[in-house]
């Protein structure tokens, strides 16, 4: 199925990816706007701020909407669990992340349905937490859940115009000029934790060797998520130019994607040279993807959760940053490299929806030559 050279990536619908989309879940955004703001404001008026309990036996941590954010947060979670070894620490996250999160010593990962208020609040109240830390960046609904959790003390981020701070006993100002990991680290300090760890996950070993390509391969992840995700897509002709160069250097190319990416990934693969790519979109769980990424020579990805996962498993990771600011949201790891748009005025996203009045062509400011050079520099091929 051939598509015009400039359109293979541009017809894709923004449908939910297995029920989890980073900052793109319409139900959560509606709840946040119409329910969250009034409730957090009311909670600030109706109750007094409490003090941090002297004895902390149960710690709850909320980060339920974004896989990339949870991978970044995992570093801080490790440090919280290590600083409070006698406490029961529960991390609420998306169901897709739970198997990987079991690697973190000293915590219990638990899935949470953030778009279902009764389910989410019930999950939180069952634990009777001494301290509940909400690491959400923007959802007011998560802050409401913290208020209704029954926790003895609540902590969260405060951001200009978001009204979240009303919900918490202690709030830390979220900065838009530092990496989100550093915002998370400051939040952990409220409960006496100095966080220095970086995100790290071992490839879990759920894929057999026979399930992996036998020749050296590079993973390409073409599909961003979130609000107006098309504006974070790299042009299809740029991907094809990169694939041709990699193929000429003896590297096979594996395409990854979620269930919502199957049709567009197949359509793109059909426009590539015969035998140059293997399309695996929709075929792997997150654990299996961690194995696939860990076995790759290199991973090249738009700025999304898979880029964070690749960096966390330690593979050389090249992330393409257009409207998304690498300094704010780039993957963290010793072998992670960001390639930013060369166009002026890009890298402006903070929460993930600030497109109004901004340029919409940022991804076109990344040339295939720059990306190929980043790969060569990272792996020496």
Q: How many CB atoms lie within 10 A of CB 327?
A: 12
Residue 31's pLDDT is 62
List, in sequence order, every residue forming a beta bridge with 244; answer none if it has no partner.
Answer: none
Q: Which residues pair with 155 in a beta bridge?
A: 133, 170
Reduce the secondary structure of 252-305 to three states and give it as a string: EEEEECCHHHHHHHHHHHCCCCCCCEEECCCCCCHHHHHHHHHHCCEEEEECCH
Whole-number pLDDT of residue 30: 61
How far apart, in whole angstroms, are the C-alpha atoms of residue 203 and residue 154? 34
Please tell me whether residue 178 adopts helix, strand or coil conformation.
coil
pLDDT tens per residue across span 191-221: 999 999 999 999 999 998 888 888 899 999 9
Q: What is the pLDDT of residues 47-58, one digit of tens each?
A: 677 889 999 999
Distance of CA 109 to the CA centre of its chain: 17
pLDDT-derived band at 25 (thresholds 50, 70, 90) equals: low
Q: Alpha carbon 140 to chain centroid distance?
A: 19
At residue 23, does pLDDT exceed 80? no
Task: Specify the pTM.
Answer: 0.88
Proportion of the chain above pLDDT 70, given as a percent: 86
Long-range contacts of 40-48 (CB under 8 A, 24+ apart): 40/140, 40/143, 40/144, 40/147, 40/163, 40/164, 40/166, 40/167, 41/163, 41/166, 43/144, 43/147, 43/166, 43/167, 44/165, 44/166, 44/167, 45/166
Residue 9 has pLDDT above 50, yes or no: no
Q: Which tens digit of pLDDT belongs to each residue from 138-197?
A: 777 888 889 899 999 999 998 776 677 778 999 999 998 999 999 999 999 999 999 999
CB-based contacts of 42: which residues, under 8 Å, 6+ apart? none
Structure tokens at 118: 């009764």
Alpha carbons 123 and 146: distance in angstroms, whole number:
11
């Amino acid at each position: 199925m051939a598509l015009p050279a400039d359109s293979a990536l541009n017809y894709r619908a923004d449908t939910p990816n297995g029920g989890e989309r980073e900052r793109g879940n319409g139900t959560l955004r509606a709840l946040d706007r119409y329910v969250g703001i009034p409730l957090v404001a009311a909670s600030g008026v109706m109750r007094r701020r409490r003090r941090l309990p002297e004895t902390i036996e149960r710690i709850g941590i909320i980060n339920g909407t974004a896989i990339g954010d949870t991978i970044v947060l995992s570093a801080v979670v490790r440090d919280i669990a290590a600083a409070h070894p006698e406490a029961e620490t529960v991390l609420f996250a998306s169901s897709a992340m739970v198997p990987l999160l079991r690697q973190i010593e000293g915590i219990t990962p638990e899935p949470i349905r953030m778009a279902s208020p009764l389910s989410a609040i019930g999950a939180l109240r069952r634990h009777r937490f001494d301290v509940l830390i909400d690491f959400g960046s923007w959802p007011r609904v998560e802050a409401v859940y913290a208020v209704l959790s029954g926790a003895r003390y609540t902590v969260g981020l405060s951001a200009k115009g978001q009204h979240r701070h009303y919900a918490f006993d202690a709030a830390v100002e979220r900065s838009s000029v530092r990496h989100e990991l550093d915002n998370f680290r400051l939040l952990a300090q409220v409960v006496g934790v100095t966080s220095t760890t970086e995100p790290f996950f071992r490839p879990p070993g759920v894929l057999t060797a026979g399930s992996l390509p036998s020749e050296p391969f590079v993973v390409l992840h073409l599909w961003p998520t979130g609000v107006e995700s098309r504006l974070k897509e790299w042009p299809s002709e740029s991907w094809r130019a990169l694939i041709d160069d990699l193929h000429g250097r003896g590297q096979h190319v594996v395409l990854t994607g979620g269930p919502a990416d199957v049709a567009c990934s197949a359509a793109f693969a059909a426009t590539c040279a015969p035998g140059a790519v293997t399309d695996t979109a929709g075929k792997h769980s997150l654990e299996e993807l961690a194995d696939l990424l860990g076995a790759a020579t290199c991973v090249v990805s738009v700025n999304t959760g898979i880029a964070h996962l690749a960096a966390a498993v330690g593979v050389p990771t090249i992330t393409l940053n257009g409207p998304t600011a690498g300094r704010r949201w780039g993957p963290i790891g010793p072998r992670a490299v960001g390639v930013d748009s060369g166009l002026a005025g890009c890298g402006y996203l903070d929460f993930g929806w600030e497109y109004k009045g901004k340029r919409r062509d940022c991804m076109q400011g990344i040339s295939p030559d720059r990306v190929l050079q980043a790969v060569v520099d990272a792996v020496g091929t």
